[in-house]
Amino acid sequence: MRIAVLGTGSVGQTVAVRAAELGHQVTIGTRDVTVTRAGEFAGWAAQHPEVGLATLSEAAGAAELVVNATSGSGSLPALAAAGAPNLAGKILLDIANPLDFGAGFPPSLSVHNTDSLAEQIQREFPQTRVVKSLNTLTAELMVHPRQLADGAHSVFVSGDDAEAKRVVTDLLTSFGHTDVIDLGDLSTARGTEMLLPLWLRLYGRLDTAIFNVKVVR
Amino acid sequence: MRIAVLGTGSVGQTVAVRAAELGHQVTIGTRDVTVTRAGEFAGWAAQHPEVGLATLSEAAGAAELVVNATSGSGSLPALAAAGAPNLAGKILLDIANPLDFGAGFPPSLSVHNTDSLAEQIQREFPQTRVVKSLNTLTAELMVHPRQLADGAHSVFVSGDDAEAKRVVTDLLTSFGHTDVIDLGDLSTARGTEMLLPLWLRLYGRLDTAIFNVKVVR
């Protein structure tokens, strides 16, 4: 697949490298290519020539699947910069969390309970097929789940489009996920986004981000 | 221990029976003993003579440990009826969830993100040692965790009083819990209460309440 990863941070980098390793044609999208190339991204990019760099709109426009790996607060602006026409008909895998660091650590959520970031994105881009997933995991485990308990833990997908969820589930399976739970429509993303407050406390307690929940049933 | 279980519903009944079975002296507290004895509680009570019934204030006043097994919306009024002096110095194990069924199923949370029901209770009863736990599980698994995967799943405790958390942890262990994770102070109850939206979606998807999360690390 041609995959655009929106977001130049460590989460975007980690997902981009793994997808490229699996044979996908991957381009990271950024607001300003010149600025990104001049920053600390440059060192990473030099080590990963297999991953392209383009503007948000170019990356999204050329992709079949777009990964939202921007920060929660930056997601809607970044997607607006990518452009609704470039996202129309595409699968948007939303892995962001609406974390609000205004009051320090642990952050609270800027949207929650009766709405979610995923639903905000879907409302803003009704022609795009939004699937929420992977946001309950640290980046390393998103793409290398087998490094923890040989993959014996769970990940969730939420979305209104069954075919888009199937494509995302196949991608997760190729990453090594063994227990992909389809929660239902996109409103179920409220559940996985609201897992973050517990995730953050566990992170504080376990002194590592290499953990995950397994749904034992 | 002398344990008061506030709440006459199925959650309170389940916890009361199990605690009595383990040798504790258990009394269920209700707003009006006469009304409760005249209702559907009567049949259950006849089968469980080992569990006493008293008013909220009598039950709390006589107890060393009080379990809040009321509904989330009923918790503060029920505890007010139990009376602050009867709760002072006591351990209050809060197993309730602040579910708001105003918009149907799945319910949203009436308090969340920057506060929690447990913290509301603690602020209202500063002399009481509130410990949040067990609210992430269906009642049967709260007290019989070994029936699922021989207990290979997790439960959390949150609270400001280390000794109170130790007593609660011992009680959970006696129920059969094998992985009790101390998340830290009572504000960490935001994390476990906010797990409910995911729990509710999983419940809808798995068609059973006999499931739980295991924190794999």
Establish if A50 belongs to a structural domain. Answer: yes
Task: Report the gap between the CA of A175 and the closest CA in chain B (Å).
Answer: 18
pTM given for the model: 0.97
Contact B184 A201 (CB under 8 A): yes
Q: What's the rounded mean pLDDT across residues B189-195?
A: 98
pLDDT level of residue B38 (50, 70, 90 thresholds): very high
**C-alpha pair distances (Å), B88 with each of A193, B25, B64, B72, B84:** 37, 20, 10, 21, 6
Quote the mean pLDDT of chain B.
Answer: 98
Size of interface A-B (CB pairs under 8 A): 109
Closest CB to A194: pick one of B152, B181, B197.
B197
Contact A191, A115 (CB under 8 A): no
Q: Which residue of B has its CA nearest to A189?
A: B198
pLDDT level of residue B22 (50, 70, 90 thresholds): very high
Establish if A217 belongs to a structural domain. Answer: no
The CATH number of residue B94's host domain is 3.40.50.720
Establish if B214 belongs to a structural domain. Answer: no
Contact B216 A188 (CB under 8 A): no
How much is the pLDDT for A33? 97
Task: Report the gap between the CA of A79 and the closest CA in chain B (Å).
Answer: 26
Quick one: CA dihedral A200, A204, A205, A210, positive or negative?
positive
Closest CB to A184: pick one of B114, B201, B217.
B201
ipTM strictly over 0.95? yes
Residues 6 or more apart in contact with residue B126 via CB below 8 angstroms: none
* Cβ-based contacts of A215 with chain B (< 8 Å): 202, 206, 211-213
pLDDT level of residue B6 (50, 70, 90 thresholds): very high
Contact A217 B205 (CB under 8 A): no
Q: Which residue of A has its CA nearest to B185?
A: A201
Rounded Cα distance, B188 and A201, in Å: 7
Closest CB to A201: pick one of B149, B152, B188.
B188
Establish if A29 belongs to a structural domain. Answer: yes
Residue A208: exposed, middle, or buried by beta-carbon count in 10 A (0-12, 13-18, 19+)? exposed
Q: Which residues pair with B181 in a beta bridge?
A: B156
Establish if B101 belongs to a structural domain. Answer: yes
Contact A172, A134 (CB under 8 A): yes
Q: Which residue of B has its CA nearest to A206?
A: B217
Residue A103: exposed, middle, or buried by beta-carbon count in 10 A (0-12, 13-18, 19+)? exposed
Task: Report the gap between the CA of B189 and the closest CA in chain A (Å).
Answer: 8
Task: Report the gap between the CA of A123 and the closest CA in chain B (Å).
Answer: 20
Residue B58, domain extent: 2-206
Classify each residue of A56-94 as buried b or exposed e, where b means 16 or more C-beta atoms within 10 Å of its C-beta: bbbbbbbbebbbbbbbbbbbbebbebbbeebbeebbbbb
Closest CB to B114: pick one of A108, A184, A214.
A108
φ, ψ of residue B179 in degrees (nearest 5): -135, 85
How much is the pLDDT for B15? 98
Task: Report the gap between the CA of B217 and the closest CA in chain A (Å).
Answer: 4
Residues in chain B: 217
Query: Percent of chain B at pLDDT above 90?
Result: 100
Least Cα distance to B94 among B62, B122, B128, B130 occurs for B130
Q: What's the rounded mean pLDDT across residues B181-193?
A: 98
Contact A66, A6 (CB under 8 A): yes
Contact A205 B211 (CB under 8 A): no
Rounded Cα distance, B126 and B85, in Å: 11
* Cβ-based contacts of A214 with chain B (< 8 Å): 153, 213-214, 216
Establish if B99 belongs to a structural domain. Answer: yes
Establish if B64 belongs to a structural domain. Answer: yes
Rounded Cα distance, B90 and B125, in Å: 10
Q: What's the rounded mean pLDDT across residues B126-131?
A: 98
Which tens digits make up the pLDDT trace of B130-186? 999 999 999 999 999 999 999 999 999 999 999 999 999 999 999 999 999 999 999
Establish if A212 belongs to a structural domain. Answer: no
Question: Residue B69 CB: number of other CB atoms within 10 A?
Answer: 29
Q: How many domains does chain A have?
A: 1
> Could you say which residues of chain A have pLDDT below 50?
none
* Cβ-based contacts of A190 with chain B (< 8 Å): 197
Q: Give the CB-side neighbour count of residue B178, counting CA atoms within 13 A.
A: 13
Three-point CA angle B191, B196, B197, nearest 5°: 110
Three-state SS letters, B49-66 = CCCEEEEHHHHHHHCCEE
Which tens digits make up the pLDDT trace of A22-75? 999 999 999 999 999 999 999 999 999 999 999 999 999 999 999 999 999 999
